[in-house]
């Protein structure tokens, strides 16, 4: 049997690790890799138009399936285009192997045509970024890259000069195991005991949940029930904890709503569960804080820390809950649940007046209708910008729906490319990209990828002809908005010209039928909804701090606006409060 090339062995190993497709754009230096993919029946090449979309798609597929995924770019500019999507994947802990093809090995260091240094460039957005300089480094380098991406959750980059990729390996890889199972991190006994003791010492405990509570819904509920603790969440925790949760007090942060902020400040023990929530001004500094995180480096980096526990949230709570004394005083919990319902009651009445006749169309109305009409197991991908606000407030999670965005990296243009990666592994599932017009137009070329592969993704463009989130930030900072508007663009016409189904809506009475039309279409479709750029009112109280710097990020301001079905949930949670 002929020897394998480096590229063939790499592709084989990716297949063995469960990778089903490589997103990318071909190029000379990548030819040995693309050719190995072409000849393998178990993996396909997904031909995108911009490598950034490839990285976003790979990151999204990994976040939806939990499996390793891959993307690739040719030497120099080709792989450089991956970088923003890789930052997003890495910061979302999505296991992705990126193949960065490189210039011919003998020319490295000579300022050769297209020369960059990917092993340096990708350092910061990966756990592992190494160059394969000789075939003798295989299979170890690929093994390390794969296992690191899976085991540590994030990106590995393999830099591969085109000539080395095509070289024969000196030896065939004897069948060796790849460790493709992630770890379970159990906390230490001493840490568990101490956390249980702190819970017993506290009178009022509040939980604040991030993505680390994924797969720990039951454990969080069991703990909250025993400690009578209100449960708030950060945006990344929403899809995992906001449903079937009688302790829900909403979300804290810039886009927050409800009583999460109060519950976190009025408790005497705050437990941060699997969250790297970044905004210090929203975190209290005068209550005890315990934090549970699988990443030791996350403990205490955002707030004071009275006790840090390194461990899975699920494992930690399984160990802690049986050791805490059941609390009997519900006053704090009930007060927070009531407060939560009251706050929501007020914002709802402020926003819902006559919204069905409001022109331009109110984006919150569109989001509310979307929540109604979308499938129970829909995947939503959400653009950075105001779409984050609409998703945070109007999408109702249920344990089956998914909702991913660029929540940690905060990049624009993520939603549509992420939808590509969310759709490919399950073509029958409803995938909806909630896109801003700014975000959509930024990587619009890859709308053609939906058409190319017949991906039935539904793109919902909130078309306010502006970079509205920044508009708002400028206003809050006391600056006149500048460079935030665009000429009106008919994205539905662009969709139709690309060969997809496209519908444009300008009248609020057509929102529901337009959405149904697009959701029911059997193929790629785009709904272009012309929305009001001035959708949110600015809270009257503006603090000195908001006048400088990145206004929204440093403020304690909670944007005013509606909250959709959250109000029903809050009301029904109130009904479960026992009557005295």
Shortest Å distance, C-beta 185 to ligand TPP: 32
- The mark string for 67-106 relative to Mg ion (x by CB under 5 A, - otherwise) is ----------------------------------------
300 binds, among ligand TPP, Mg ion, none (CB under 5 to 8 A by kind): none
- State the first-to-last Cα distance of the chain, in angstroms, to the nearest integer: 80
Q: d(Cα 389, Cα 254) in Å, to the nearest integer? A: 9
Evaluate whether 115 touches 66 at the Cβ level (below 8 Å).
no
Identify which of residues 31 and 465 has a Cβ nearer to Mg ion in the complex: 465
Considering only residues 258 through 287, tell me which ones interact with Mg ion, judged by CB under 5 A.
none
- The mark string for 342-361 relative to Mg ion (x by CB under 5 A, - otherwise) is --------------------
Which residue spans within 339-456 are E strands per DSSP? 379-382, 402-405, 431-436
Nearest to residue 309, comparing CAs of 190, 404, 187? 187
332 binds, among ligand TPP, Mg ion, none (CB under 5 to 8 A by kind): none
Shortest Å distance, C-beta 467 to ligand TPP: 4
> Residue 411 region, left (φ>0) first, then alpha (ψ -120 to 50), else beta?
beta
Identify which of residues 438 and 514 has a Cβ nearer to ligand TPP in the complex: 438
Coil vs helix vs strand at 459: strand
Distances, alpha carbon 435 to alpha carbons 135, 330, 425, in Å = 44, 42, 21
Residues that bind ligand TPP (CB under 6 A): 383-387, 410-412, 436-439, 462, 464, 466-470
Identify which of residues 73 and 436 has a Cβ nearer to Mg ion in the complex: 436
Coil vs helix vs strand at 432: strand
Instruction: Give me 301's structure tokens.
Output: 């980096």
Identify which of residues 332 and 462 has a Cβ nearer to ligand TPP in the complex: 462
Identify which of residues 68 and 434 has a Cβ nearer to ligand TPP in the complex: 434
Instruction: Give me 482's structure tokens.
Output: 């500048």
Evaluate whether 264 touches 245 at the Cβ level (below 8 Å).
no
Shortest Å distance, C-beta 470 to ligand TPP: 5
Shortest Å distance, C-beta 479 to Mg ion: 18
Q: Is 484 in the site for Mg ion (CB under 5 A)?
A: no
Coil vs helix vs strand at 450: helix
Identify which of residues 48 and 198 has a Cβ nearer to ligand TPP in the complex: 48
Shortest Å distance, C-beta 553 to ligand TPP: 11
383 binds, among ligand TPP, Mg ion, none (CB under 5 to 8 A by kind): ligand TPP
Identify which of residues 321 and 468 has a Cβ nearer to ligand TPP in the complex: 468
Q: d(Cα 501, Cα 366) in Å, to the nearest integer? A: 19
Identify which of residues 63 and 531 has a Cβ nearer to Mg ion in the complex: 531
Q: d(Cα 181, Cα 151) in Å, to the nearest integer? A: 7
Shortest Å distance, C-beta 420 to ligand TPP: 18
Q: d(Cα 69, Cα 56) in Å, to the nearest integer? A: 11
Shortest Å distance, C-beta 60 to ligand TPP: 16
Considering only residues 433 through 452, tell me which ones interact with Mg ion, judged by CB under 5 A.
436-438
Q: If 0-12 CB within 10 Å is exposed, 13-18 middle and 19+ buried, where does residue 151 land?
A: middle
Q: Where on the chain is the footprint of Mg ion (CB under 5 A)? A: 436-438, 464, 466, 468
């Amino acid at each position: 049997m002929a020897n394998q090339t480096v590229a063939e062995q790499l592709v084989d190993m990716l297949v063995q690790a469960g990778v089903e497709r490589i997103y990318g754009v071909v190029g000379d230096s990548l030819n040995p890799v693309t050719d190995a993919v072409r000849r393998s029946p178990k993996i396909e090449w997904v031909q995108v138009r911009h490598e950034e979309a490839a990285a976003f798609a790979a990151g999204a597929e990994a976040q939806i399936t939990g499996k390793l995924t891959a993307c690739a770019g040719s030497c120099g500019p080709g792989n450089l285009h991956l970088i923003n999507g890789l930052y997003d994947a890495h910061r979302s802990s999505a296991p992705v192997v990126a193949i960065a093809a490189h210039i011919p090995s003998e020319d490295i260091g000579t300022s050769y045509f297209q020369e960059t240094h990917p092993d340096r460039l990708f350092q910061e957005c990966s756990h592992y970024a190494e160059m394969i300089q000789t075939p003798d480094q295989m299979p170890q380098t690929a093994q390390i890259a794969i296992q690191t991406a899976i085991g540590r959750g994030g990106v590995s980059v393999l830099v591969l000069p085109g000539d080395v990729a095509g070289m024969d390996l000196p030896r065939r890889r004897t069948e060796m195991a790849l460790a493709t199972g992630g770890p379970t991190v159990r906390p230490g006994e001493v840490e568990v005991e101490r956390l249980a003791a702190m819970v017993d010492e506290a009178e009022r405990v509040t939980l604040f949940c991030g993505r680390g509570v994924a797969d720990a819904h039951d454990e969080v509920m069991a703990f909250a029930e025993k400690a009578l603790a209100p449960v708030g969440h950060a945006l990344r925790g929403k899809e995992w904890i906001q449903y079937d949760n009688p302790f829900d007090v909403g979300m804290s942060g810039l886009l927050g709503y409800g009583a999460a902020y109060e519950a976190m400040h009025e408790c005497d023990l705050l437990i941060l569960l699997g969250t790297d929530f970044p905004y210090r001004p929203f975190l209290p500094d005068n209550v005890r804080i315990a934090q549970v995180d699988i990443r030791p480096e996350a403990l205490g980096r955002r707030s004071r820390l009275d006790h840090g526990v390194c461990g899975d949230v699920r494992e930690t709570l399984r160990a802690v809950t049986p050791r805490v004394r059941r609390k009997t005083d519900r006053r704090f919990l009930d007060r927070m649940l009531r407060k939560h319902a009251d706050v929501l009651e007020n914002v709802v009445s402020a926003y819902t007046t006559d919204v069905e006749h409001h022109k331009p169309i109110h984006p919150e109305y569109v989001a509310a209708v979307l929540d109604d009409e979308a499938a129970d197991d829909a995947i939503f991908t959400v653009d950075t910008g105001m779409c984050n606000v609409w998703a945070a407030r109007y999408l109702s999670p249920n344990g089956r729906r998914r909702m991913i965005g660029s929540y940690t990296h905060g990049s624009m243009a993520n939603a549509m490319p992420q939808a590509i990666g969310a759709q490919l592994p399950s073509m029958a599932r409803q995938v909806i990209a909630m896109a801003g017009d700014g975000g959509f137009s930024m990587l619009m070329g890859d709308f053609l990828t939906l058409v190319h592969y017949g991906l039935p993704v539904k793109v919902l463009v909130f078309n306010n002809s502006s970079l509205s989130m920044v508009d708002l930030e400028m206003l809050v900072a006391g600056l006149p908005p500048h460079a935030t508007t665009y000429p009106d663009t008919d994205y539905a016409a662009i969709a139709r010209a690309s060969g997809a189904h496209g519908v444009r809506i300008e009248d609020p009475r057509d929102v529901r039928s337009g959405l149904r039309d697009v959701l029911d279409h059997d193929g790629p479709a785009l709904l272009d909804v012309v929305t009001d750029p001035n959708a949110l009112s600015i809270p009257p109280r503006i603090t000195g701090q908001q006048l400088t710097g990145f206004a929204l990020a440093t403020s304690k301001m909670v944007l005013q606006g509606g909250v959709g079905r959250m109000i029903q949930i809050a009301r029904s949670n109130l009904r479960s409060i026992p009557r005295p």
